[in-house]
Every structure is written in structure tokens, then in C-alpha cells.
Amino acid sequence: MGENSAVIGLFRASHFGPTCLVVSITLGLSITQLSFTKSFGISLAILCGQLVVGWTNDLLDYPLDRAAGRLKKPLVAETVTRKQIQVGISIALTSAILLSYLGPLGVRGGLLHMLGLASATIYNFWAKSTWFSPVPYAISFGALPWAVYSVAHKHPPTWLFLDFILVSMSFHFLNVIKDLEWDRTQSVLGLPQRIGKKWSAWTAGLLVLSAAFVALLR
């Protein structure tokens, strides 16, 4: 296995698209309240946390992904090894903690970041197969604006806090739909898998409409 293919595999295993989206949102939100330097520091801490979440997800899902023949998954395609991902998780987690507490987030923001990271990790280990699968999304993304605003010694607007929660939960329902039937066969029974594709799509739409309504009422 070449070094270049391993690096690409690690990027893909981190769920690179959603990771970039979360980091970009963090940077954009931070810039509205803080200097670019502080915003960049916060985004870097969030990036490391997202790497932990993405890599942990792929590592835990490896047996299921292999059984399903999901060759788009780097571990199944053998472009990266479990050992490499485990090392990556250790480095990313250490970096996330140090960059949080020693960087712009400080103690309070760092604790909020760790809350979000812990919630996302609980999703990977347990909640994704329960009725409570949307809850970690609400906690993790609800904590994000609070962490950013805490650096500016402010509270996030209520509408913003609620919209982060509503939109993140809608993403959960939409993201699961494509693999919903296969998840059921593998006993991955989060709330979307339990209510089915039609109701998951309706729920996602309702959540997005609710977010828009909340934003209009701000």
C-alpha cells in the first residue's frame, strides 16, 4: 500500500465532504464574532474533532461495510488499514483537546467542543442503532454556536441555536435514506430506519421548514 493511497484513504475515511462543511460553517460563524486568526484556530480544533468522529465511524462500521461489499469505504477497499486509522484517531483526538483548551476556545469553549465530540462519538458507538439516533446531532450541533460565541463572551441568538439543531437533525434523516434498507438487514435501527424512507423524508422536510420558520421569526 503506497503512502499516497493511504493518505487519500484517510481523507475519504474522515467523511471528507461533511467534515469540510462543518469546518466551513464554523469558520464562517466565527468570523462574524471574532478575528480571522481566532476563527482559524477554532476551525482547526473543530477539524481535528471531526476527523475523530469520521475515522471512528468508519472503524466501527468496518465489519458491516465489509459484509455489504461497500468498496467505496477505504477500509473495505484496503486503501487504508485499521492500524492507520487508529493512529489517526489518537493524533486527532490529542490535537483536538490541545487546540481547544490552549487555543481561542479556552476552557469554556473547549468543554463545549468536548461535549459535542463526546455526543458524536456516542452516536457512533451506540445511539445510531437506537430510537434516539437524532439526539447526538442535536447536542453536537447545538453546542457548536455556544462554543464559538463563548469566545466572544456572548450567547448565540436563540434562533441560530435552534436552527443548528433542526438542520442537523434533518441531515441525519436524509443521509440515512440511501442505505436505509440495507441498514435494516444489518440491524442498524436508528429512528430513520425504524420509521422508513417516506416518513424520514417527511420528517427531514418538516425540520427544514421549522428551521426556516424560526429564522423568519428572529
- pLDDT given at position 62: 95
- pLDDT given at position 70: 87
pLDDT in tens, 38-88: 999 999 999 999 999 999 999 999 999 998 888 889 999 999 999 999 999
- pLDDT given at position 23: 97
Whole-structure pTM value: 0.94
pLDDT at 15 over 80: yes
- pLDDT given at position 106: 97
Residue whose cell numbers read 487519500: 8
Residue from 109, 24, 96 nearest 53 by CA: 96
Contact predicate 22/63, CB 8 Å:
no
Q: How far, in Å, are 2, 68, 104, 155, 207 from residue 150 at the CA level?
A: 43, 43, 10, 7, 26
Cα distance between residue 113 and residue 100, in whole Å: 7
Name, in order, each residue with C-beta under 8 angstroms of 190's C-beta and a sequence gap of 6 or more.
Answer: 127, 128, 129, 130, 131, 133, 134, 172, 176, 183
Q: Average pLDDT of the chain?
A: 95
pLDDT at 140 over 60: yes
Domain ranges of the chain: 3-216
Q: Is 178 exposed, middle or buried (0-12, 13-18, 19+ CB in 10 A)?
A: exposed
Cα distance between residue 49 and residue 70, in whole Å: 25
